[in-house]
Amino acid sequence: MPNNGDLIAAVSTAPGPGALAVVRLSGAGTLNTLARVFRSKKSLEENPRTLIRGRVVDPRDGGTADHALAVWFPGPSSFTGEDSAEIQGHGGSLIPGLVLRLLLDEGARLARPGEFTERAFLNGKLSLDQAEAVAEIVAAESAAEAKIAARTLDGALKEKVSAIFLAMKGAYARLTAVLDFEEEWTPKDADDLLNALKEARESLKSLIDLRKRGRFYRDGLKVVLAGAPNAGKSELFNALLGKKRALVSPVPGTTRDYLTAAVSWGNVRVELVDTAGLREEGGDELEKMGQALALEQMGEADLVLRLRDLTNPERIPTPEAEKGIPGLEVWNKTDLVSTDRGPLPPGLKISAKTGDGLEELKEAALKLLGIQGARIPDIVPNLRQEKAIEESHRLLEEAVASLSSGEPPEICGVLLRRSLDRLGEVTGRVFTEDLLTEVFKRFCLGK
Ligand SMILES: Nc1nc2c(ncn2[C@@H]2O[C@H](COP(=O)(O)OP(=O)(O)OP(=O)(O)O)[C@@H](O)[C@H]2O)c(=O)[nH]1
Ligand SMILES: [Mg+2]
């Protein structure tokens, strides 16, 4: 028997023009409610998991609201684990809402955002990271993000985390068994436990590293173009964009407001930012305001491209904000200098005007950030998962330290228990109401 919640309904497709729309229904009374608004020759009940052609009708007067297909999924072998159904009718701005209205009039309640997926999680159909992947696959804006979300949905992260969780749990069980029966705590017990915990610690560390290496594939990259006025930042911005978006002129101080544009480098989504030129002195009030914005942008960057002009190698001030953020020095305007007049400075050289060296520039930038080639990683925890894994790792480290320093094993037990609880939050083995609210509030309606 399915574990049915109250009856919920929502339009699951995006609003607006579209040939088809899907209205979803899940919970107690799905079949009865569906039968009242959907008339068909073939019985829905006798043909589960089969698309049936019919009419959506207003049960008050029998009037046709739409021609549609409907499918009945008896729980527990459904997405939500409950009795549920879908009506595939016509799209557009009116009909899907009308069909939903009929279901609400028949006693269904409008689903909260993410409520279908939340029920799938609560009924054990999906782990919490898989549930998040459902939202992530919908929100993906690059092939890399979509692939990572799809792999997470496959269970790649869940399997990895579960294996570590079970190993830690096994160690915890042995420890508590010894403590509970007040048996002798031998040096060999301590040794075995220590080894098991160290192994788990290394596994958690490698998960954290996966996030560090892969997070740009997931979250994209913010690259800020910075440099002295006239270095050619706006010219480079336009060249990388393939469009004349920013004003370019020989007047120093042309750019004031910063400009942003989305491009894609390899498989990574990049937000490019063109900023006002930086200089120690001079410039009017507006230019100074622009420079303040530039510094702010540099402070938020994943990478700052510091553009230098080969014909005027003026240095730009190193803003405090940029400290700790990777920077790449790039010499511009190679088309204006000849090597006859002596060697060029070492490092990356480009011409924003002719496009020379731009491919090398992108490659060097990605390499600097550890994004090698086009291989998209399979597993990249999201920010929430990373936090839980890091906390779990920290607590496990404390457990190892406590045990190594000869403290009573009870202390290690407490720390290990807390570490397990944090790790359990990644897949939802351990969860609180607040955690679910945080995860599912990001979903869209009908998911
Ligand atoms: N020949 C040549 N000229 C360039 C190149 N890059 C930029 N310029 C020229 O240099 C001048 C300044 O370029 P911008 O892109 O406006 O410079 P900027 O760094 O954005 O300057 P501000 O917005 O004032 O900070 C313009 O006349 C550009 O055409 C290049 O690679 N080669
Ligand atoms: Mg500019």
Residue whose Cα lies nearest atom 12 of ligand 1: it is 230
Q: Is 136 helix (H, G, I), strand (E, B) or coil?
A: helix
Residue 314, pLDDT > 80, answer no
* 3-state SS track over 307-370: EEECCECCCCCCCHHHCCCCEEEEEECHHHCCHHHCCCCCCEECECCCCECHHHHHHHHHHHCC
Give the three-class secondary structure for 106. Answer: coil
Mean pLDDT of 207-213: 89
CA–CA dist 265, 221 (Å, integer): 10
Sheet containing 52-57: which strands, arranged edge to edge? 38-39, 52-57, 64-73, 84-90, 20-26, 8-11, 109-110
Ligand 1 lined by 89 (C-beta under 6 Å): no
Residue 81: CA count within 13 A, CB half-sphere: 15
Tokens encoding 56: 């959506």
Nearest-angstrom CA–CA distance, 158 and 129: 7
More confident call, 268 vs 26: 26
Give the separation between CA 339 and CA 144, rounded to whole angstroms.
41
Ligand 1 contact, 122 CB (< 6 A) = no
What values do phi and psi take at 65, rounded to 5?
-100, -35
DSSP code for 40 = -
Residue 391's pLDDT is what? 98
Q: What gap in Å lies between CA 217 and CA 211, rounded to an integer?
A: 10
Tokens at 309, concatenated: 């002009």
Q: Which ligand is nearest to the CA of 235?
A: 1
Q: How far is the CA of 388 from the centre of ligand 2 (A)?
A: 42
Type of residue found at 145: E
Distance CA 311, CA 314 (A): 9
Choose among 87, 109, 97: nearest CA to 24.
87
How far apart are the C-alpha atoms of 113 and 274, rounded to whole Å? 37
Lowest mean pLDDT across 5-14, 54-63, 153-162, 278-287: 278-287
pLDDT of residue 322: 62
Mean pLDDT across the stretch 92-98?
Answer: 93
Give the tens place of pLDDT for each residue, 211-251: 988 888 888 899 999 999 999 999 999 999 999 999 999 99
Could you tell me which of 302, 261, 278, 271 has the C-alpha nearest to residue 226? 278
Ligand 2 centre distance from Cα of residue 257 (Å)? 9
Q: Please report the pLDDT score of residue 320 as a whole number.
A: 59
Fill in the DSSP letter of residue 61. T
**Which H or E run includes 27?**
none
Q: SS3 of 396, please? A: helix
Residue 284 has pLDDT above 90, yes or no: no
pLDDT at 321 over 70: no
pLDDT of residue 66: 96
- 368, 328 in Cβ contact below 8 A? yes
The predicted-structure confidence for 15-64, as pLDDT tens digits, reads as follows 888 899 999 999 999 999 999 999 999 999 999 999 999 999 999 999 99
Residue type for position 97: G
Give the per-residue pLDDT at 374: 60
Q: Is the pLDDT of residue 334 over 80?
A: yes
- pLDDT tens column, 120-137: 999 999 999 999 999 999
Residues 6+ positions from 17 with CB-CB distance below 8 Å: 91, 92, 93
**Percentage, residues of the chain above pLDDT 90:** 76
26: left (phi over 0), alpha (psi -120 to 50) or beta: beta
Query: Does the pLDDT value for residue 317 go beyond 70?
Result: no
- In this predicted structure, what is the pLDDT of residue 143? 83
Run of H or E including 65 = strand 64-73
Mutate to test the pocket of ligand 1, among 225, 238, 243, 249 (most ligand atoms within 8 A of CB): 249
As separate numbers, helices (DSSP H) first and strands (DSSP E) second, the chain gives 13, 13
Residue 371 has pLDDT above 90, yes or no: no
347 band by pLDDT with thresholds 50, 70 and 90 = confident
- Residue 418 has a pLDDT of 97
How far, in Å, from the CA of 309 to the mean position of ligand 1? 9
Q: What percent of the chain has pLDDT over 70?
A: 97
Which pLDDT belongs to residue 3? 86
Does pLDDT of 13 surpass 90?
yes
Residue 225 CA: which ligand 1 atom is closest?
19
Ligand nearest to the CA of 306: 1
CA–CA dist 262, 311 (Å, integer): 30
What's the CA gap between 59 and 325, in Å, rounded?
A: 63
* Domains of the chain: residue spans and CATH: 8-127 (3.30.1360.120), 154-214+380-430 (1.20.120.430), 219-368 (3.40.50.300)
What is the whole-number distance in angstroms between the Cα of residue 311 and the centre of ligand 2?
Answer: 17
- Tell how far CA 178 is from the center of its chain: 42
What confidence score (pLDDT) does residue 15 get?
85
Which of 224, 225, 233, 235 gets mutated to test ligand 1 (max ligand atoms within 8 A of its CB)? 235
Q: What pLDDT sits at residue 319?
A: 66
- Find, among 404, 431, 426, the residue nearest to 415 by Cα: 404
Report whether pLDDT(397) > 70: yes
* Alpha helical stretches, state H, 81-232: 95-105, 115-122, 128-139, 143-154, 156-180, 187-219
Task: Please state, as a whole number, how many other Cβ atoms lie within 10 Å of the Cβ of residue 116.
Answer: 28
* Atom nearest to 252 CA in ligand 1: 24
Report pLDDT digits (tens) over 160-195. Answer: 999 999 999 999 998 998 888 867 778 888 889 999
Task: Please tell me the least confidently modeled range out of 150-154, 338-342, 382-386, 434-438.
Answer: 338-342
